[in-house]
Amino acid sequence: VAARRSTGSDLRRDSAQPVSTIRAAFDLLASQSRYGGTSHLKRILVIGGYGTFGARISELLGKAKDIEVLVGGRSLEKAKVFCRSRADLNMTAVHIDRDKDFEAILHKVQPWLVVDAAGPFQEASYHVARACMSAGSHYLDIADGRSFVERFSDLDVEARAA
């Protein structure tokens, strides 16, 4: 998929995402997992999974029957409380700190996808994305830091080699 650089003038904050963008996300979730066929549970780790944005993402993913959501964060207790409050959803609390032994933990839990919802991204490095490449996991974030997003293409060669 070719991407074009936005000048900002063609973006409207009050408009909805085009259907093609939403469809691509659903297609990604429906693709075959490297841990099994399409009927196998896909494990998705949400970093910051009980926070303001991460909680919403975790809840929406937790409703899917073929997804196991790992609700991750620095406080295992907060993750457990969040998961217990939504016991009808397929969510498991995990202690994970993206700044401490993250790559080793990632190799241990082997998620199909990592969603980084922990922010802030303004001064963030790309170590989470690189750890995902190393572990063979897909990566997605909700970055709001312009320079973080603009420089993300610098990882293209590494990602293609992974």
All residues at 6 or more sequence positions from 138 whose CB lies less than 8 Å from its CB, including other chains = 28, 112, 113, 114, 132
Residue 36 is predicted with a pLDDT of: 41
Note whether 94 and 109 are within 8 A (CB).
yes
End-to-end CA distance of the chain: 19
Q: How far is Cα 26 from Cα 131, in angstroms, rounded to an integer?
A: 24
Mean per-residue pLDDT for 83-90?
Answer: 96
DSSP-based three-state secondary structure for 123? coil
What's the pLDDT tens digit per position in 59-71? 999 999 999 999 9
Q: How far is Cα 4 from Cα 131, in angstroms, rounded to an integer?
A: 27
Least confident of 38-47, 70-79, 82-91, 129-138: 38-47
Q: Is the pLDDT of residue 150 over 50?
A: yes
Please give the structure tokens belonging to residue 151. 């420089």
Number of neighbours of residue 125 by Cβ within 10 angstroms: 10
Q: Is the pTM of this model over 0.95?
A: no
Main-chain phi, psi angles of 47, to 5 degrees = -75, 130
Query: With bands split at pLDDT 50, 70 and 90, how would you rate the model's confidence at 40?
Result: confident
Residue 77 burial class via C-beta count within 10 angstroms: exposed 0-12, middle 13-18, buried 19 and up = exposed
DSSP-based three-state secondary structure for 59? helix
Three-state secondary structure of 64-87: CCCEEEEEEECCHHHHHHHHHCCC
Least confident of 14-18, 115-119, 139-143, 155-159: 14-18
Residue 19 is predicted with a pLDDT of: 43
